[in-house]
Amino acid sequence: MLRQILLCLFFVTSTGLLAAEEAPLVEIYMPSPCLACIDWGSYLTDKGFKVSYKETADMDAVKRRLKVPKDVESVHTAVVGGYFVEGHAYAEDIREAAA
Per-residue CA distances from 41 to 6, 25, 64, 90, 99 (Å): 32, 11, 22, 11, 20
* Contact between 78 and 28 (Cβ < 8 Å): yes
Statement: residue 41 has pLDDT above 70: yes
Does residue 32 form part of some domain?
A: yes
pLDDT bucket at 59, cuts 50 / 70 / 90: very high
Does residue 74 form part of some domain?
A: yes
Does residue 58 form part of some domain?
A: yes
Average pLDDT over the chain, rounded to an integer: 82
Q: What is the pLDDT of residue 49?
A: 96
Q: What is the pLDDT of residue 21?
A: 54
Dist. CA 49–CA 82, nearest whole Å: 15
Dist. CA 19–CA 61, nearest whole Å: 33
Does residue 8 form part of some domain?
A: no
pTM given for the model: 0.75
What is the total count of domains within the chain? 1
Statement: residue 42 has pLDDT above 80: yes
- The CATH number of the domain holding residue 51 is 3.40.30.10
Structural domain of residue 87, as residue ranges?
23-98
* Contact between 33 and 41 (Cβ < 8 Å): no
Does residue 30 form part of some domain?
A: yes
